[in-house]
Chains A and B, each alone.
Chain A
Amino acid sequence: MSAIPATADNSLDLWLAQQTEKSLLRFLTCGSVDDGKSTLIGRLLYDSQLILDDQLASLKKESHNRTVGDEGIDFSLLVDGLVAEREQGITIDVAYRFFSTDKRKFIVADTPGHEQYTRNMATGASNAELALVLIDARKGVLTQTRRHSFILSLIGVKHVVLVVNKIDLVDYDQEAFDRIVAEYRAFAEPLGFKSLAAVPVSALRGDNILRPSENTPWYEGEALVPYLETIDVSEDRTTEKFRFPVQWVNRPNLDFRGFSGTVASGTIAVGDEVLIAASRKPAVVSRIVTMDGDLDHAIAGQAVTLVLDREVDISRGDVLSRPGETLDYSNQFQARVVWMNEEPAYPGRSYLLKIGTQTVPATITDLKFRTNVNTLEQTAATKIDLNEVATVTLNTDKPIAFDPYASNGRTGGFILVDRISNATLGAGTIEFGLRRAQNLTYQSFDVNREVRAQMKGQSPRIIWFTGLSGSGKSSVANLLEKRLTAEGRHAYILDGDNVRHGLNKDLGFTEAARIENIRRVAEVARLMADAGLIVLVSFISPFEKERRLAREIAGDTDFTEVYVDTPLEVCEARDPKGLYKRARAGEIKNFTGIDSPFEPPEDAELVLHGAEAGPEVLADQLHAFLKL
């Protein structure tokens, strides 16, 4: 080979070391069309002296007849790279630009503002750590500003800078700026960004880009570039749980079998025990192979090849973790999906789902609700249209290994692909798994539910009572149980308060705890029904979402939802446990009916009107309805 002429040059090594020290920030610009995203990036490139002489010359030529700043350049021409974009003066697809300052390297994704190209904005957001949300100071917060912000939160961008652009066109008016910032903050509050700053700028004129502008003496924050140079967005993925999706089985000859992949999170060292998500088989890492020599350990982000100490069946799609820190492994989960295709998504239709290195057929089994991007309101839906975001339940043909996206962005995001055209239809983030995989926790025994049910001479089922505290759920359930027992049937009541004292005494009343509360009770109910019992669950269960979760967990077990509909005044007058009095006095927070809502069920199998008849009559009605 020809030798490389490489001289020992200290100054270069020093300079290179500095380059290496620099951190990298990946960010995107988004917001509505014409808010000046491309112009802002052009300005950043120009001010960081990254526009080269030949580019500058051709830019000046092309800027003729366009809106230009003092430099005589239409900066947006720098980034709008496609002919169609230049012709129409719009951005269609995300463009990546690179610049660096003395302190940091930047990769910026310039994303389109038009609603129809939202999928391209999501593409740009998916690898970004920070977003510049641009707003035209004259127009304020627009639908697209909200849509983009919502997608940022869905995709997992945690840091946002609100760039109020064209501030020169509102005469550098502080009130206009403050008004926009207040409106945006109010909207973005539930989106849970880790940081949210706001800067008034003029991308065209350069105000507050590199240094504070004299035109906005009232603005006390940092200029944009200094802020981007110093903001800390680091998320130490090495401290997360170890995840290693196997990408490619490395088998050069009979003596070597390694598993190539990228450490998605955490760290791994030679001698560590790992567990395969699907088979639950353990093994020990014996080598970490790279072309630069074996490593003693590897960290998140490194692409390596692991060799294990024993013969185990592992192929692409398997995920390795540590024992005790395993991933979810399930074929049913709840997720948020952003739809990216003109053809809407419908429940029941089959798609290909790719998550990490796993690809499986998947079906949307339930479309729970659509989220309105303007108001964040959740509304019922029967399909997901282009650019809409919905919360769904997905069923995969075989179980997949995953983490909730909130706890691990590398193992909780997926795409949906059309099975015929192979187009990418949508992207999603997993919220939580709904059921453990059949082939994993469900041992199949010779004695099954049917056998046990026959033994008892009854058909097992779950009867789920929902209604306000004091509505009469427990009284009706009690009477029904007595009657069933008298008939020689075997029933059992799971009561909200009693379960809270035992099984669920570790749970509080946050949203997550409430969901977990329901999940556990529903699982217990399903097991009892599996054992052959008629299970009566008496739970306020005020939220539709949670009742639906219970129904999903029940799976193919017969599930009857009974709504004991008793007006709040009646319940409060009864107040059998004195709880309403205490809630009114402020001693109990989040009390259903008082300061927490009750969502009346729309698809309950039976509604009992608790104010119109006594519990005995209601129990009779229910008994008749059940046709036991």
Chain B
Amino acid sequence: MLDQNRLTHLQTLEAESIEILREVAASFERPVMMYSIGKDSSVLLHLARKAFFPSKIPFPLLHVDTTFKFREMIAFRDRTAEEYGFDLITHTNQDGVRDGINPFDHGSSRYTDIMKTAALRQALTAGRYDAAIGGARRDEEKSRAKERVFSHRNASHAWDPKNQRPELWRTFNTRLNPGESMRVFPISNWTELDVWTYIYSEQIPIVPLYFARPRPVVERSGTLIMVDDERLPLNPGETPKEEVVRFRTLGCYPLTGAIRSDAADLPSIIMEMQASRTSEREGRLIDSDSVGSMEKKKQEGYF
């Protein structure tokens, strides 16, 4: 592991992230780790296991289930929780379920507000969590590039981007007033390539949806949507086609675009990514509603 008394780039990033995770465990009373089941969450989970070994992860993992996640994601989540024995909390906005909120009838923006952003706020408030750890990276999106590692939220979970706390060295200010909370991003300084190479070198299990396979899809305004279950309404004359596709990010299946790809294993994914000329979040429909949409969501409490 040690090469001439120098850590490699990935070892440096890993150690930094572990330090951040330990700082959370040591400084907060009720931390929670957001578990979105995606590749970044898988890396985060792996880092948390390393940070506290041989202890178990000293905080629960929280999954906000919008009820429209890919079925493979849910299966993977439950298998992973069982294998590693962490404390898994799932939360769904029951008001949304009662009102039958879905992305088709209510639009992606309103659906996300209710089933994701509001649901997250509900879960954080209900759990009285004072720190929520997330897997966001600064290379993902412009407003994320600006966010602190320890990102302060007021009592209504809102982010004030114009007035962030200074963050010096790795001396994090973890102090809060009653009702306030912290969002913590241990892999802020990782790039997408770092995440993939780390998954490869550490052999971290990820949801198979990342790997190319024949899947039933429909193409809508240039985006490939996978028909994961019968809830996806088909337009007149639209029939699902089997295509070899994979996903670069995972979320709610009606809102997550697939890409045509033959990359069926990690090396091919990494190679494909190196050649790729589009950014990772392009496949996410929620970001493209308007310029600054991510920042707006974050101010409202979205991760």
B3 to chain A, nearest CB (A): 9
B259 to chain A, nearest CB (A): 12
**A454 contacts partner chain B, Cβ-Cβ < 8 Å:** no
B253 to chain A, nearest CB (A): 18
Residues of A within 8 A of B268 (CB): 7
Residues of A within 8 A of B296 (CB): 83
**A421 contacts partner chain B, Cβ-Cβ < 8 Å:** yes
Q: Considering residues A96, A236, A299, which has the most beta carbons from chain B within 10 angstroms of its beta carbon?
A: A96
Q: Which of A173-181, A352-360, A463-471, A494-502 contacts B (4 or more CB under 8 A)?
A: A352-360
Q: A82-B161, A95-B145, A97-B145 are in contact. Are A9 and B169 (CB under 8 A)?
A: no
**0 or 1 for each of A596-615: is its CB under 8 Å from B? (1 = yes):** 00000000000000000000
Residues of A within 8 A of B161 (CB): 82, 84, 92-93
Q: A252-B54, A316-B26 are in contact. Are A122 and B146 (CB under 8 A)?
A: no
Q: A5-B265, A247-B22, A340-B166 are in contact. Are A422 and B146 (CB under 8 A)?
A: no
Q: Which of B6-14, B121-129, B223-231, B234-242 contacts A (4 or more CB under 8 A)?
A: B6-14
Residues of A within 8 A of B265 (CB): 4-7
Whether A20 lies near B9 (C-beta < 8 A) is yes
**0 or 1 for each of A79-109: is its CB under 8 Å from B? (1 = yes):** 1111110100000111111100000010100
- Provide the bound-state CA to CA distance between A302 and B264, in Å: 34
Residues of B within 8 A of A86 (CB): 291-292
Q: A82-B162, A96-B138, A248-B25 are in contact. Are A20 and B8 (CB under 8 A)?
A: yes
Q: Which of A4, A127, A261, A422 interacts with B169 by CB under 8 Å?
A: A127
Residues of B within 8 A of A427 (CB): 166, 168
Residues of A within 8 A of B211 (CB): 5
- The majority secondary structure among interface residues of chain A is mixed
Q: Which of A6, A54, A98 interacts with B279 by CB under 8 Å?
A: A54
- Provide the bound-state CA to CA distance between A305 and B52, in Å: 9
Residues of B within 8 A of A410 (CB): 169
A295 to chain B, nearest CB (A): 7
A231 to chain B, nearest CB (A): 17
**0 or 1 for each of B248-284: is its CB under 8 Å from A? (1 = yes):** 0000000000000000111110110000111100100
Residues of B within 8 A of A357 (CB): 23, 26
Whether B145 lies near A252 (C-beta < 8 A) is no
Q: A93-B164, A413-B171, A414-B171 are in contact. Are A252 and B56 (CB under 8 A)?
A: yes
**0 or 1 for each of B216-228: is its CB under 8 Å from A? (1 = yes):** 0000000000000
Whether A301 lies near B54 (C-beta < 8 A) is no
A contact residues, total (Cβ < 8 Å): 86
A44 to chain B, nearest CB (A): 14
Residues of A within 8 A of B90 (CB): none
Whether A299 lies near B5 (C-beta < 8 A) is yes
Whether A262 lies near B15 (C-beta < 8 A) is yes
Residues of B within 8 A of A92 (CB): 161-162
**B71 contacts partner chain A, Cβ-Cβ < 8 Å:** no
Q: A82-B295, A92-B162, A305-B53 are in contact. Are A12 and B205 (CB under 8 A)?
A: no
CB closest chain-A residue, reference B141 = A81
**0 or 1 for each of B184-209: is its CB under 8 Å from A? (1 = yes):** 00001101010001001101111010
**A238 contacts partner chain B, Cβ-Cβ < 8 Å:** yes
Whether B189 lies near A55 (C-beta < 8 A) is no
- Provide the bound-state CA to CA distance between A58 and B288, in Å: 10
Residues of A within 8 A of B55 (CB): 250-252
Whether B169 lies near A1 (C-beta < 8 A) is no
B181 to chain A, nearest CB (A): 12
**A303 contacts partner chain B, Cβ-Cβ < 8 Å:** yes
- Provide the bound-state CA to CA distance between A427 and B169, in Å: 10
CB closest chain-A residue, reference B50 = A291
Q: Which of B29-37, B75-83, B95-103, B112-120 contacts A (4 or more CB under 8 A)?
A: B75-83
Residues of A within 8 A of B148 (CB): 123
18 A–B contacts, CB within 8 A, in A order: A2-B76, A4-B206, A16-B197, A16-B201, A54-B278, A82-B295, A93-B146, A95-B138, A95-B146, A96-B145, A107-B189, A120-B164, A123-B167, A248-B22, A250-B52, A256-B54, A261-B22, A303-B18
Known: A82-B295, A251-B55, A292-B1. 4 other contacts (CB 8 A): A82-B161, A120-B166, A292-B50, A413-B168
Task: Please list the 5 inter-chain residue pairs (A to B) with the smallest Cβ-Cβ separation, ordered nearest first.
Answer: A81-B142, A5-B265, A303-B18, A291-B53, A252-B55
